[in-house]
Copies of this chain bind each other. A is one copy, B any other.
């Protein structure tokens, strides 16, 4: 089968890879309908994260069940399914508490590579959620978004305790940040401030529910958030970047007693303990337990209540994955969908 491989920073190639087959009786094999490039794929692509040798890429996926292991009971061959970037048993104590991305048996899907024609999904019963039927083609981008960026933005908004009566600010205008805006809106937030200096992203943020746009960054961005919130700071701030600057911007934009939900994978971030102490904020985040939200998100998409697929502003055949990485890296595309 064809699949994307990262050889070195900036060097993604689509090549022949072995078609995966069942390894464990709890596995399923999917024929992928769509895959995509993630903001977090850019960390190794840019050489910020290191790795050993050529690695398969991709951890977001939707597709049709092609084959199942002997122990798989919750999905069947022919189902259209959505999964997420950690396979999880969905039965352990940590999963039951809603933290499937820290499942005691979790498997990182990125190591299996979903930018490909087929994908092996471990722990299929716990990981995959079937849609109510075969989706209309125009729903596929939204279902694919649920696999990671929507689920991650959703977790960010939940971790920030977005809800009725709340002012929510979102740091980061990538797909995750934009979908955190959508999540905040769905969760009933009163005021939603998107921090973005890019016109097409601002437009999408407004479409997803942003009431205010802040173009300033760093201290100036914090000052602007304070101005918009009676000098107090936002109740809820979603951090969707993962840098020192963005984390501090998020913490400083939050009022005492407020909540920061951080979902940008932290890179070279050190949080100053004393400032954090006196900030009085709640801090929660990490790899989103997308599995927890999949049934609800699929419902919202299936009923056409939300349209998170709008974050895909570039669609390419899998063979052109390299162009997709380049467009994301240069920020000329918000999110790239790949068709195997």
Interface residue A23 (Cβ < 8 Å from any Cβ of B)? no
Distance in angstroms between the alpha carbons of A242 and B277 in the assembled complex? 10
Q: Is the CB of B265 within 8 A of A277?
A: yes
Docked complex: A185-241 residues within 8 A CB-CB of B? 230-232
Known: A273-B270, A277-B265, A277-B266. Contact between A283 and B282, CB under 8 A?
yes
Known: A279-B286, A282-B283. Contact between A267 and B274, CB under 8 A?
yes
Stretch of A90-98, A120-128, A171-179 that contacts chain B: A90-98
* Cβ contacts under 8 Å, A142 to chain B: none
Query: Nearest-CB distance from A54 to chain B (Å)?
Result: 24
Cβ contact of A283, chosen from B104, B255, B257, B284, cutoff 8 A: B284
Known: A93-B232, A265-B277, A269-B273. Contact between A99 and B283, CB under 8 A?
no
Cβ contact of A270, chosen from B98, B230, B247, B270, cutoff 8 A: B270
Nearest B-chain residue to A264, judged by Cβ = B277
Query: Nearest-CB distance from A178 to chain B (Å)?
Result: 21
* Cβ contacts under 8 Å, A97 to chain B: 256-257
Cβ contact of A94, chosen from B99, B257, B279, B283, cutoff 8 A: B257
* Cβ contacts under 8 Å, A265 to chain B: 274, 277
Q: How large is the interface on A (under 10, 10 to 19, 20 to 34, 35 or more residues)?
A: 35 or more
Query: Nearest-CB distance from A276 to chain B (Å)?
Result: 7
Distance in angstroms between the alpha carbons of A264 and B27 in the assembled complex? 47
Q: Is the CB of B271 within 8 A of A271?
A: yes
Distance in angstroms between the alpha carbons of A102 and B270 in the assembled complex? 24
Convert A242-271 into 0s and 1s, putting 1 for each residue whose CB lies closer than 8 angstroms to a CB of B: 101001000000011100001001111111
Nearest B-chain residue to A256, judged by Cβ = B102
Nearest B-chain residue to A103, judged by Cβ = B256
* Cβ contacts under 8 Å, A242 to chain B: 273, 277
Q: Is the CB of B287 within 8 A of A257?
A: no
* Cβ contacts under 8 Å, A133 to chain B: none
* Cβ contacts under 8 Å, A99 to chain B: 256-257, 280
Distance in angstroms between the alpha carbons of A262 and B101 in the assembled complex? 25
Distance in angstroms between the alpha carbons of A284 and B277 in the assembled complex? 8
Q: Is the CB of A276 within 8 A of B266?
A: yes
Q: Is the CB of B269 within 8 A of A274?
A: yes
Query: Nearest-CB distance from A249 to chain B (Å)?
Result: 14
Interface residue A163 (Cβ < 8 Å from any Cβ of B)? no
Docked complex: A135-187 residues within 8 A CB-CB of B? none
Distance in angstroms between the alpha carbons of A6 and B102 in the assembled complex? 49
26 A–B pairs (Cβ distance < 8 Å), ordered by A: A93-B232, A94-B232, A94-B255, A97-B256, A99-B256, A99-B257, A99-B280, A104-B232, A242-B277, A244-B273, A247-B273, A265-B274, A265-B277, A266-B276, A266-B277, A269-B273, A271-B273, A276-B286, A277-B285, A278-B286, A278-B287, A280-B286, A280-B287, A282-B282, A282-B284, A283-B284
Q: A267-B274, A282-B284 are in contact. List 10 more A-B contacts (CB 8 A).
A: A94-B255, A94-B257, A101-B280, A102-B256, A265-B277, A266-B274, A266-B277, A269-B273, A278-B286, A282-B283
Chain A residues engaging chain B, CB cutoff 8 angstroms: 93-94, 97-99, 101-102, 104, 230-232, 242, 244, 247, 255-257, 262, 265-274, 276-287
